[in-house]
Amino acid sequence: MMRALYSLLTYIAQPWLRRKLARRAKVEPLYGEWVEQRFGHYDDAFHSLPQPATAAGGAPVVWLHAVSLGETRAAAALLARLRESLPGMRLVLTHGTATGREAGKALLQPGDVQVWQPWDTPSAVGRFLAHFRPDVGLLMETEVWPNLVAGCAQRGVPLCLVNARMSDKTYQQSRRLRWLAGPAYRGLHAVWAQSEADAQRLRALGATVQGVLGNFKFDATPDAALLARGRAWRAGAGRPVLMFASSREGEEQMLLDVLKQKWPLAQVDIARSAPESIAKGAQTSVRMPFQLLVVPRHPQRFAEVAKLFADASYSVSCRSQWGEAPETADVWVGDSLGEMALYFGMAHVALLGGSFATLGGQNLIEAAACGVPVFMGPHLFNFTEASTLAAEAGAAQRCEDIAHAVTEAAATAGDAARLHGMQEAALGLGAAHRGAALKTATEVAAVVRRVAVTAPAGC
């Protein structure tokens, strides 16, 4: 009854979704492509895959949903292990965001397909499942949708939540919507959680948690070529590089306010010190003790962030303008996709985006894998486990606000012994927590084999 009401609302919301996609496409054109896939319609380019593993001799069809960029990057480690455990598997890779879909191209092999996640109406979900006929469905981290779960259950497709996490905020929201969330979590075939705290919350909602396997983002390996280039550029910067990693809306202004306070722009006193070539009223800045590198989380904000610092009279150079090396400027803006290893390679220390505004933080594991110490704000509710592990290992530091974080980051960048210690702790963090991807792939492969054994012949 409740899901029927929810389904009606999702059906009514379809025109709104189309308008939203059209608006997003003005900034990120990928949102305007293959729109009908979101409603379960596929043209000839997306033909049905061969018979699934339940047919005699068929290769397994694995559907993996990685909604956005972070989940897609994490999926790389799992997919590498899955291809080893399930030779010849065919992949159906779905996403909800343009950044996720762009990054997902690198994960495809011949015979795989990549499409948008179906909008959560019974009809769109039904067409998706009928078209691709997956043997197993894997939802990354948090992506549990009521009609997706129900549709898979009706068709006998085991749907699993992998690398699962659940913040206390999400848990409380799900409890308030337990009439809808409860059946969805209970309907999952299996859940493998990142931490025991995540597992406890998921169990409380009715999910079948079969294990706590850790976070397979620790298994991801940074692109060695990008990392090496970044480190070479860092060496040529001439001063420590402080990176604001995955900054979110409102946080850049917070940082700018700190910069203005600590390294203010001052009017030039022409009568006493300024050369005649400088016009009256011109401004100069007290040079920051570090090179600032800002990498916004969302590409639609690249130009906005660059303009914010330029309007404050800081010189700005964007990655898209560089040739063989970064241009000289007060602020570098990382306005490219798929180059986080490059940016972390350039950084001596980093501020964690999403943790200074009440947004729950971002994944800091990639920074650790690149040996970059992280300074975090107080809002980490979406990544409690990873941030706690990093802080306990000495690879990251919690700070009360962004002013505190900038002060600590700048001090660390200027203290060779402390910087080296945190860099070593960051590299050690990943080494200590690897293995979740292999464990998860082993569990998923067992599910696929059980499906192949128990399915009726000719299914």
Active site residues: 71
Please give the structure tokens belonging to residue 433: 């927590």
The amino acid present at 368, given as its one-letter code, is A
Contact 331, 302 (CB under 8 A): no
User: Apex CA 117: angle with CA 337 and CA 448, to 5°?
Assistant: 105
Sign of CA dihedral 207, 209, 212, 216: negative
Length of the chain: 459
Q: What letter does residue 118 receive in the DSSP assignment?
A: P
Question: Is residue 56 classed exposed, middle or buried when 0-12, 13-18 and 19+ CB atoms within 10 A define those classes?
Answer: exposed
User: Do 102 and 337 form a contact (C-beta atoms < 8 A)?
Assistant: yes
Element (H, E) at 351: strand 349-352
CA 157 to chain centre: 27
Q: How far apart are CA 33 and CA 304, in angstroms?
A: 24
Q: Coil, strand or helix: which one is 285?
A: strand
Nearest alpha carbon to residue 120 among 36, 40, 41: 40
Locate 108 and state its tokens: 């495809």
The span from the CA of 459 to the CA of 446, in Å, is 19
How far is 459 from 449, CA to CA, in rounded Å?
A: 15
Backbone angles phi, psi at 190, to 5 degrees: -160, 150
* Contact of 265 with 287, CB cutoff 8 Å: no
* Cα–Cα distances in angstroms (integers) from residue 140 to residues 143, 145, 429, in the given order: 6, 12, 22
Q: Please name which of 376, 383, 429, 415 lies closest in space to residue 399, comparing C-alpha atoms.
A: 376
* 360, 383 Cβ separation under 8 angstroms: yes
DSSP reduced 3-state for 90: strand
Name the DSSP class of 44: G
Q: Residue 130 CB: number of other CB atoms within 10 A?
A: 12
